[in-house]
Amino acid sequence: MHNTNSGTVHGSLVQAASIDTVNITNLPPPPTALNGLPPVSGTFTGRLPELEELRAGRGLTLVHGLGGIGKTQLLLHYAHREKARFPGRSLNLNLHGYDARLHVEPTQALRSFLRALGTREEDIPPEESERSALFRSAMAEREDMLVLLDNASSAKQVKPLLVDRHRVLVSSRHRLTDLGGTRIPLGVLPLEEAVELVGDPELAELCGRLPLALKIMAAHIDLESATDWAAELRAEGLPLLDDGDTRQVAATFALSYRWLSPDQRRMFRLLSLHPGDEVVADTAAALSGLPSGKAKMLLRDLHRASLLEGGTRFHDLVRQYAALCLQEEPETERTAAEDRMIAHYRTTAAEHAKGIEIHRCTPEAVGWMDRHHRSVLEVATTAHERGLAEQVVGIADAMFRYFSLRKHMADWFTLQEMAVDSAARLVDRKSLAKVYNRLATIHRQQRRFAEAIRFCERSLAIQEEMDDPIGIGSALIVLAATYREMDRPDLALPCCERSLAIRRLVHDPRGLGISLSNVGLTHLDLGDADLAMEYFTEALELQRSTGQEGGVAITQHGIGRAHQACGRLDQAFEHYGASLRIQRHRDDRFGTAITLRSLGGAYAEAGRTAEAVETYQESLVLFEGSRDDHRADEVRDLISALTP
Q: What is the pLDDT of residue 10?
A: 33
What confidence score (pLDDT) does residue 33 get?
Answer: 43
Distance CA 609, CA 615 (A): 10
Output the pLDDT for position 122: 87
Instruction: Tell me the domain boundaries of the chain.
Output: 34-185, 191-331
Instruction: Give average pLDDT by consecutive 10-residue segment, the chain, 644 residues.
Output: 42 40 45 59 82 92 83 91 89 84 89 89 91 94 92 92 94 83 88 87 79 76 60 49 44 71 95 87 95 94 74 72 90 96 97 81 89 93 95 95 84 93 91 94 93 96 94 96 96 97 91 95 97 97 90 96 96 97 90 96 96 96 86 94 89
CB 254 within 8 A of CB 241: no
**Residue 616 and residue 35 in contact, taking contact as beta carbons nearer than 8 Å:** no
Bridge partners for 185 per DSSP: 64
Alpha-carbon span 611 to 119, nearest angstrom: 26
Q: How confident is the model at residue 310, as a pLDDT?
A: 64
- According to DSSP, residue 244 is labeled -
Alpha carbon of residue 376 to chain centroid: 11
Is residue 450 within 8 A of residue 469, CB to CB? The reply is no
- Look at domain 34-185 and name its CATH class: alpha beta
* Predicted local distance difference test score (pLDDT) of residue 186: 85
Are residues 484 and 447 in contact, defined by beta-carbon separation less than 8 angstroms? no
3-state secondary structure string, 287-319?
Answer: HHCCCHHHHHHHHHHHHHCCCCECCCECCHHHH
What one-character-per-residue DSSP string does 253-279 give? HHHHHHHS-HHHHHHHHHHTT--SS--
